[in-house]
Amino acid sequence: MIRALYMAPIRGVTDYIYRRVYSAYFSGFDIAVAPFIAVPKGNRIKSGIFKDVSPENNIATPVIPQLLGKDADEFALAASRLFDLGYTEINWNLGCPFPMVAKKQRGSGLLPHPEKIDAFLNRVIPKIPNVLSVKTRIGREHRDEILRLAPVFNRYPLSEIIVHPRTGVQMYSGSPDLEMFETVCGSIDHPIVYNGDITNTKSFEILSERFPEISRWMIGRGALTDPFLPGDIRKKPHHEDRGRIRIVRRFHDHLYNAYRDVMSGPAHPMDRMKGLWTYMARSFAEGRKILKKIHRAKTPERYMEIVNRFFDDDARWEPASPDERTNNTFNAGKTHEIV
């Protein structure tokens, strides 16, 4: 059953420009969780840090802002600023696996410390005007850390828990731990959102059969790779492959121009697009070839020459089978270095 499909936050890709342009070409997502905003230190907040979630930049798709931080008072201040911008719901990032974040006990670095999470929620919940949800992994080092967290989460009025069933140290390797996810479903009283490795309609069907009680689903890399995926899952009217390539091409050109309008210099917009190609190339036959060429392009002119030739002559729509889309291939690209 699908009650809601969420666009996952992918820092460095799913910013407001991507979300806006995406929604002009593709359907299926109900809502997006925005990439994390690191809670600033101290009691001063520059309004610029909320640019990605400013209401005027987010007219097309409803969005839930996400905060990354561990200091309750600083978090509450940022949360109330978001409330002033109109956000009645915000999300707390407890999943970020990157060592630079985790070693400061932020993101997944907090998961081995239920008492700290408890103290944080105890202070934050009464202070903030917004409803709070959490996005988490199943642990930092161990797959069962979340079981010590479940009673803590259950004590507070959280709106939902988004669970990506990997540990932090796993990053994106291996497979989602569905057994542990099942145990988590039995331990957490709040609505649960499943997130992890939904790469095509088949993988969604398998998961939704296995977890009939789950009605909220979040998709990240799978929809960057095949942007039609959420619509296909929702069984929106189907485009044949030629039509799909035309739509992806229009989406690409629109997105690139939108980045060029707001980013300075020629390199930044091109790098953004190269990051997206890391995923998108996998939906085309011989995607690796085009990806290599694209990553070698040094100038915007050369970049567009390669992309235009590809769309004119070579592009064949062929989203990879689930087996081919191992996590390692997802991880092959540059995008991950952005976070």
| Residue 124 contacts ligand FMN per CB under 6 A | no
Interface residue with ligand FMN, options 5, 7, 10, 229 (CB under 6 A): 10
The interface region with ligand FMN, picked from 42-50, 193-201, 250-258, 259-267 by CB under 6 A, is 193-201
Which parts of 11-30 interact with ligand FMN (CB under 6 A)? 11-12
Q: Which residue has the tokens 């070693």?
A: 103
For residues 136 and 113, is the Cβ–Cβ distance under 8 A? no
Nearer to ligand FMN, 27 or 249 (CB): 27
Is 108 near ligand FMN (CB under 6 A)?
A: no
Of 268, 229, 271, 276, residue with least CA distance to 252: 276
Residue with smaller CB distance to ligand FMN, 5 or 124: 5
Find tokens 């929604």 and name the residue: 23
Closer residue to ligand FMN in complex, CB, 93/183: 93
Contacting ligand FMN (CB under 6 A), which of 5, 8, 117, 207? Answer: 8
139 touches ligand FMN by CB under 6 A = no
The closest of 81, 92, 101 to 124, measured between CA atoms, is 92
Nearer to ligand FMN, 191 or 300 (CB): 191
- Could you tell me how many residues of this chain bind ligand FMN (CB under 6 A)? 23
DSSP 234: T
Shortest distance in whole angstroms from residue 195 CB to ligand FMN: 5
Residue 289 identity:
K
322 forms part of the interface with ligand FMN (CB under 6 A): no
Nearer to ligand FMN, 163 or 290 (CB): 163
Residue 198 touching ligand FMN (CB under 6 A) = yes
Pick the binder of ligand FMN from 22, 36, 120, 311 (CB under 6 A).
36
Told to check if 160 binds ligand FMN by CB under 6 A, we report no
Min dist. Cβ of residue 309 to ligand FMN (A): 28
The answer to whether residues 225 and 14 touch, using CB atoms and an 8 Å cutoff, is no
Q: What share of the chain is helix, strand, coil (3-state, %, to 5)?
A: 50, 15, 35
Sign of CA dihedral 72, 75, 77, 83: negative
d(CA 194, CA 60): 24
| 319 is a contact residue toward ligand FMN (CB under 6 A) | no
Q: Say if CB 26 and CB 228 are below 8 A apart.
A: yes
- The reply to whether 221 sits near ligand FMN by the rule CB under 6 A is yes
d(CA 116, CA 49): 26
Q: How far is CA 319 from CA 87, 153, 267, in A?
A: 36, 38, 28
Minimum CB–partner distance for residue 234 and ligand FMN (Å) = 16
What is the length of the chain?
A: 339
Question: What does the alpha-carbon distance between residue 244 and residue 238 come to, in Å, rounded to a whole number?
Answer: 9
Q: Tell me how far, at minimum, the Cβ of 298 lies from ligand FMN, in Å.
A: 23
The least distance separating ligand FMN from the CB of residue 248, rounded to whole angstroms, comes to 19
Residue 274 as a binder of ligand FMN (CB under 6 A): the answer is no
Show Cβ contacts of residue 316 under 8 Å, excluding neighbours closer than 6 positions: 241, 245, 284, 285, 286
| Contact with ligand FMN (CB under 6 A) among 89, 197, 226, 271 | 197
Please give the torsion angle defined by the CA atoms of residues 37, 43, 45 and 50, in that order, rounded to the nearest 10 degrees: 30
Written as six digits, the tokens of 291 are: 């990806």
Among 6, 18, 32, 35, binds ligand FMN (CB under 6 A): 35
178 binding ligand FMN? (CB under 6 A): no
Phi/psi at 250 (5° precision): -65, -40
Report the residue number whose CB is nearest to ligand FMN.
220
Residue ranges binding ligand FMN (CB under 6 A): 8-12, 35-36, 66, 93, 95, 135, 164, 195-198, 219-222, 335-336, 339
